[in-house]
């Protein structure tokens, strides 16, 4: 049952990782451009915006999960037997989402 719960939540965690990589890679590319121009003002602005957007998106994604837990898990294949395990595992994973 535990393996089934992790298999159900795997696509949801990959979506969260995709958001993190999207924001992180975009911010890193912009930081490299700012460093090449010796622009400390642009560097500070990009770093602040990247952290703010990354945190906001992860909190939003976490809230969506907690608001629609049963529907999301059922859509990704949870059954009556595996739903409690997927909920427990998902709770741990999604509370840590903003700290990625």
Q: What pLDDT digit, counting tens, does each position of 22-68 carry?
A: 999 999 999 998 888 887 788 888 889 999 999 999 999 999 999 99
- The predicted model scores a pTM of 0.83
Tell me the residue length of the chain.
100
Nearest to 61, CA basis, from 26, 24, 8, 99: 99
Nearest to 98, CA basis, from 19, 43, 11: 19
User: Rounded distance, CA 76 to CA 89, Å?
Assistant: 14
The tens digit of pLDDT for each residue in 2-17 reads 889 999 999 999 999 9
Mean pLDDT of the chain: 91
State in Å, rounded, how far the first CA of the chain is from the last one: 26
Check residue 98 and report its DSSP letter.
G
- Where exactly are the structural domains of the chain? 2-99
pLDDT at 72: 93
């Amino acid at each position: 049952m535990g393996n089934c719960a992790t298999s159900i939540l795997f696509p949801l965690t990959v979506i969260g990782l995709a958001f993190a990589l999207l924001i992180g890679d975009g911010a890193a590319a912009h930081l490299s451009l700012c460093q090449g121009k010796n622009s400390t003002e642009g560097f500070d602005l990009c770093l602040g915006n990247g952290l703010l957007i990354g945190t906001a998106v992860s909190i939003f994604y976490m809230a969506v999960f907690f608001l629609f837990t049963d529907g999301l898990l059922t859509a990704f294949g949870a059954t009556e037997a595996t739903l409690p395990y997927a909920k427990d595992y998902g709770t741990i994973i999604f509370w840590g989402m903003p700290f990625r």
